[in-house]
Structure 1
């Protein structure tokens, strides 16, 4: 491969397609009814080779706008803003064998709340050049070199809503009604890749990112300052081009996770959709980069687990504490294709305590129940926190079928979890069978006096309606019935991350 870019590295599998299986509904494309028959024809025995194409993951086939949504219960009147969440939603699929779930075109789902009402629901594909072409629409901007319909996160920063992706694509700006406003390079200050997981330090008014790219011999730490421009870039040398999906931030340090999932050039040349592999020869380590400047200090980490997502991190005297979710190792990002990654088990909540005085890292298992997508009150990012929120969805764990054939633990079912990390307790809000919950985002109450005074918002599937609800929980009465369920006009596929965007 002469020119390795993210476009031909991570999208190169299209050339390996062997047959046409029909598309997912868009103007001029075959309808969705052809896909299930193709999927059924591919099934062998009891194992489903395409779990991320149906059930709780069934891609939306059209964009919907609905007003004055029905509500069970009462929406708190102080909730004035939009709840947004994104995820992969494949458009125009020709062959499921050449597709990977994590490369589906990004679709953002949003609900506008105001004055105790759910004013509207919208879902929109992010208009990359390729998506615009598939939808028969003009693309009025110059396409970035690594153009992609970002599918991993949607955030708000300095009045701008951005859809994000890691390892190359620049953000896309989204408008008030989720329309795509074009690629965004932070006023011309972004050079190279961006990330899916930024960290905003509210006290410093800084947005931080760790970015990586398949051909780099380093990763980059970016600081976007109060002007909305990249003010500082620090290059951190690393070997083997590791995948750095997330990182952590404290008041003093940027916490870098160098895990044994690394770029495989041979796999990229062979057309593997996600050419990153578990690398037993790449040591697991955690680096502390001083925010004030200076070299990275590295600490050996446990190679028996794969770091997944940060809950939060903070400084504690001569130690650094990082709470995060992890999968048992090895972890296989490429998986079987469209079904996404493999794992040896479900993710759990862990804690690293990094002893700066003695140069040691200690791992503690906080909760061994299956859970992912941990979130904290956003104003506490990089500061000491007491509470954290996570989601568990049986459909997610079933889809991550283990490589050794042992079914993952789905007994815990579908729930949102509130962790008290000071006293060590948990509260669990359970949902019925076939009602998987997506990531929960915490929204603080106006004038709240305590850390957990506010609400947890999440999309939850309702099997009785065959559609999703936006569920609003009182965070201080977490196990009680929801304050409100906003009934959406259709399903919201299980996906990735989102944000509350206040008006």
Structure 2
């Protein structure tokens, strides 16, 4: 999922072709065909956000992170796939180009972007998310855009691409940053949908802080050597690896202030996505995906493969110890949402093919991996060799079900149909493959993150 955003793109831009290529229209399909049997306990919508540029961007300059957001959704109920929808998020720019009435609404620093990274339900609001300073956008149950959402006037700036909803309190936690006017903020929103806690974290420069981790007592901040450069004359922000910037992990008590952040040195690396974090007897354990080097525009290979790691953080000793868990190139780590901030035994990642069609590299194929973090074992499901798969989201079979008693949902491209499927895998029989495939009428472009939204939320 990495992108070289520090250099101009070639005329044959990979993010505008193949499985990344944007779709050109919005569709609604009902009563979708299904192979296998859908679990009747799955009542809700699987939604996933991703870049889908509207129009024809310049291949020489377009980057994957810059496309307008489009949400793809499938509605499941009582063993049936009731509908598939894909909808662009109507920022003013998108609505104007589609010839629709502008929604207007609040803005932060005049920024208005169709969020393209994640989708989350919180406090009765379905929110499309993006980082960098723009506000989230609210959607209705059928993916129509309601408008920008500022947490009832309490959001002090932009939001972020990633949030954690604390299973114990139901509150939303996030770490937001802004590119146009640099800041880093730790924010907590109560179950009433209003921001109740804010900490302005002093950080030098313009670091790319895509995600964060949360335990029962602490917030963990990733201040690493990938930074934003000054904007181009056209106003485009790009990132690059900065050898002069120290890599460090911030440990902030949930109820602390800016002066309470403890910064711990880490070996240089970059982290897009942690899986989960927990603490016991003062020691914090984090499982995350790390790159040794990323966005280094001077290197012949600007990205190193990612891997799943365990970080053991001892704030009292001031140490962070990194250990590999799985050396295969994986990304988009997820865990049971009920286990977030506590100890999770199982986690799920997307296995990336490191060199499709490349020479001198063994192909692993694309698929999904279930990790048993206690035993150090894993199970793998591979998709068609000419296909691909996105992030897998875990859905518990019931509120009180065991941690891996449930389903993993993901969009996958089926080259034999030249269209995508929604895969439903049983987490306890992972390698056996899907118990059901919902056949969509179109291809879902490779994208970013999504969530299962149960009925009643």
Instruction: Please indicate the TM-score interval, normalised by the length of the shorter structure.
Output: over 0.9
Of 367, 391, 407, the residue aligned with 2:350 is 391
Superposed displacement of residue 357, structure 1:
2.6
Q: Secondary structure at the match of 2:432?
A: coil
| 1:346 and 2:311 correspond | no
Quick check: 2:293–2:303 contact (8 Å CA) kept in 1?
yes
Cα gap change, 1:217 to 1:183, in 2 (>3 Å): closer
CA contact (8 A) 2:207 2:228 kept: yes
Q: Which residue of 2 aligns with 1:318?
A: 282
Question: Is the partner of 1:478 in helix, strand or coil?
Answer: helix
**Aligned residue for 2:339?**
380
Query: Which residue of structure 2 lines up, in the alignment, with residue 81 of structure 1?
Result: 44
Map 1:110-125; keep pairs closer than 5 Å: 110-125=73-88
User: 1:291-306 alignment to 2 at 5 Å?
Assistant: 291-294=254-257, 295-303=260-268, 305-306=269-270
Q: In the aligned structure 1, how far is the partner of 2:62 from the partner of 2:448?
A: 18
1:443 to 383, 390, 395: 395
2:72 to 94, 98, 109: 109
Q: State the shift of 1:94 in Å.
A: 4.1
Secondary structure of 2:93's aligned partner: helix
The answer to whether the 8 Å contact 1:153/1:164 transfers is yes
Question: What's the C-alpha RMSD, in Å, of the aligned pairs?
Answer: 2.2
Deviation at 1:214, TM superposition (A): 2.3
Query: Could you tell me whether the CA contact under 8 Å between 1:448 and 1:454 is conserved in 2?
Result: no
How many residues align? The count is 444
TM-score (norm: length of structure 1): 0.84
Partner residue in 2 for 1:432: 384
Deviations 1:436-476 (A, max 9, x none): 11000000002553100000000010000000000000000
Matching residue of 1:159: 124
Q: Aligned residue for 2:421?
A: 469
- Tell me, in whole angstroms, the C-alpha distance in 1 between the residues paired with 2:213 and 2:27: 36
Distance 1:166 1:456, change over 3 A: same
Q: Distance in 1 between matches of 2:400 and 2:168?
A: 18
2:329 is aligned to 370
The answer to whether the 8 Å contact 1:152/1:165 transfers is yes
Alignment partner of 1:243 is 2:202: no
Q: CA deviation at 1:215?
A: 4.7
Name whichever structure is richer in helix by fraction: 1
* Structure 1, unpaired ranges of 5+: 1-12, 18-38, 44-48, 336-341
Alignment check: 8 A CA contact 2:407 2:426 kept: yes
Q: Is the 8 A contact 2:355 2:363 kept in 1?
A: no
Alpha-carbon distance in 2 for matches of 1:272, 1:362: 39
Stretch moving more, 249-258 or 276-285: 276-285
Alpha-carbon distance in structure 1 between the residues aligned to 2:362 and 2:42? 33
Listed as ranges, the matches of 1:108-147 within 5 Å are 108-142=71-105, 144=107, 145-147=110-112
In the other structure, the counterpart of 2:225 is: 260
- Secondary structure in 1 aligned to 2:96? helix
User: Which structure 2 residues correspond to residues 207-286 of structure 1 after superposition, within 5 A?
Assistant: 207-216=172-181, 218-265=183-230, 268-271=231-234, 273-286=236-249
> C-alpha displacement at 1:431, in angstroms?
1.2
Q: Could you tell me how far apart the structure 2 residues matched to 1:433 and 1:94 are?
A: 30
Counterpart of 2:154 in structure 1 is 189
| TM-score normalised by length of structure 2 | 0.93
User: Tell me, which stretches of 5 or more residues in structure 2 are unaligned?
Assistant: 1-5
